[in-house]
């Protein structure tokens, strides 16, 4: 999609953006984060920046709670209840009850748990209704690959079929064979966002359950799991939640499903009485049954630091205010690219309507996308690159606009650096074409 033209008589200036920053009620939230001087960090959709409280928190957990408290800290420092306590803090960000969310394991492991439970749930529901067996998991072709890998493996184990369709064909593909619809709320490549309530209603009308991946929406856009009548959800702790590299993820199960089915990774932390050490497994009541093994206490503690800024934002309008700023930042980014980078073959992969996009802007270019991103990084503007597969999926220059710590002048400066990279041809230098392990 081409970037829409703007009125050439009224270009936005850096001074205009400075005025917007001065009037921004959320501006003080940036002070909670340790951002290297001179860096414009537009990759919070891949890894959030470090909260200033994280280093002291890690030191306290390691030197005091572990070093001095030792095993007593499971009780005295509250280690044992960390998954539930952090889950209760995540719950307001995703529209869930405070006793319905766990912070635990990775997004992929949590997806394995909830998708397996959903398949059991769907199969049981068909049997109870004496209906034909539903043996299909439906997802979109451009879903995040690890979600598709987990689904493919489970389908192979359980005798289901994974069916992939384009986003526009999801509704028409919801037939009597579909047991579960698996979707990522905000697409990792394009930033396109599904209408969660409409999708849930359509899936339920067709007799299917819905599993949502919130990796690119939790902390970036308002999510209403309960109000939209979702069934299951998982999400990431190290992107917009700023929990640190490899931070524990989270999961949610609607209360109507929680106690009906066991999750497949039946570990001792999910036992009804873990310290009774009985040889047989009895699942805990409620969401706690979705725990598995001993939890990573240091990582969980750091995730708590990442949630502090959202709690501070509550007094400033919460997720609604963050969403309004996110949209203003992305509107500005798109407009400035249209004004200042015209004629350089840059396209837009992100939908323009607000209701259809998350908190990232994804640009396309027929050639040089990887090298352009590398040239920007060398200039102190950090985005990332996602490879395409030709005309259907072009190469993507991806920019996450995290409203907690990105300002309007940051956006102006980032686009100015992009303009200079494109106009100078700097991206063609050999060092910017060298591939790295992580793109």
Select which of 239, 323, 365, 379 is catalytic. 239
Q: Which of 398, 405, 410, 432 is catalytic?
A: 398
Please, what is the angle between helix 82-94 and helix 318-340, to 10°?
60
Catalytic, out of 144, 160, 240, 290: 144
Catalytic residue among 43, 105, 147, 213: 213
Look up 213 and say whether it is catalytic: yes
238 is catalytic: yes
Helix, strand, or coil here: 424?
helix
Q: Do residues 296 and 372 make contact, with C-beta atoms less than 8 angstroms apart?
A: no
Q: What whole-number distance in Å separates Cα of residue 14 and Cα of residue 23?
A: 15
Give yes or no: 290 in active site.
no
HSE-up of residue 70 (Cα within 13 Å, Cβ side): 1
239 is catalytic: yes
Q: Is 260 a known active-site residue?
A: no
Q: Record the tokens describing residue 112, joined without a space.
A: 């394995």
Nearest to 281 by CA among 263, 266, 296: 266
Give the active site residue among 33, 41, 112, 238: 238
Residues of the chain by 3-state class (helix, strand, coil), percent to 5: 45, 15, 40
The residues assigned a catalytic role are 144, 213, 238-239, 398
């Amino acid at each position: 999609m081409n970037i829409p033209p703007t009125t050439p008589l009224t270009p936005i200036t850096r001074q205009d953006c400075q005025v917007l920053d001065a009037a921004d009620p959320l501006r003080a939230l940036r002070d909670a984060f340790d951002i290297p001087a001179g860096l414009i960090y537009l990759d919070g959709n891949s890894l959030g920046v470090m909260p200033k409280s994280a280093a002291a928190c890690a030191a306290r957990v390691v030197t005091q709670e572990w070093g001095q408290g030792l095993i007593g800290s499971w009780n005295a420092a509250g280690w044992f209840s960390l998954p539930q306590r952090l889950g209760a803090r995540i719950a307001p960000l995703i529209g869930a009850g405070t006793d319905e969310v766990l912070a635990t394991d990775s997004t992929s492991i949590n997806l394995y748990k909830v998708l397996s439970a959903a398949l059991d749930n769907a199969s049981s529901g068909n049997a109870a209704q004496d209906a034909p067996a539903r043996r299909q998991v439906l997802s979109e072709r451009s879903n995040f690959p690890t979600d598709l890998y987990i689904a493919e493996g489970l389908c192979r184990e359980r005798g289901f079929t994974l069916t992939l369709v384009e986003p526009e064909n999801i509704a028409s593909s919801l037939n009597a064979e579909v047991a579960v619809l698996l979707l990522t709320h905000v697409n990792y490549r394009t930033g396109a966002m599904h209408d969660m309530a409409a999708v849930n209603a359509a899936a339920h009308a067709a007799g299917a359950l819905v599993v949502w991946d919130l990796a690119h929406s939790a902390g970036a856009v308002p999510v209403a799991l309960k109000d939209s009548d979702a069934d299951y959800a998982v999400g990431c702790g190290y992107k917009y939640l700023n929990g640190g590299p490899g931070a524990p993820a989270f999961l949610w199960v609607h209360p109507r499903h929680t106690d009906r089915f066991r999750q497949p990774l039946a570990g001792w932390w999910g036992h009804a009485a873990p310290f009774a050490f009985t040889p047989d497994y009895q699942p805990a009541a409620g969401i706690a049954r979705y725990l598995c093994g001993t939890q990573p206490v240091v990582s969980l503690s750091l995730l708590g630091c990442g949630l502090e800024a959202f709690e501070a934002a509550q007094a400033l309008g919460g997720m609604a205010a963050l969403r309004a700023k996110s949209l203003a930042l992305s509107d500005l980014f798109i407009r400035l690219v249209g004004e200042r980078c015209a004629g350089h073959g840059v396209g837009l992969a992100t939908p323009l309507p607000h209701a259809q996009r998350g908190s990232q802007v994804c640009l396309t270019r027929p050639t040089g996308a990887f090298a352009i991103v590398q040239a920007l990084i060398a200039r102190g503007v950090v985005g990332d690159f996602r490879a395409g597969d030709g005309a259907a999926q072009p190469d993507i220059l991806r920019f996450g606009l995290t409203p907690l710590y990105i300002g309007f002048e940051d956006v102006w400066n980032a686009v100015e650096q992009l303009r200079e990279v494109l106009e100078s041809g700097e991206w063609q230098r050999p060092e910017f074409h060298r591939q790295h392990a992580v793109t």
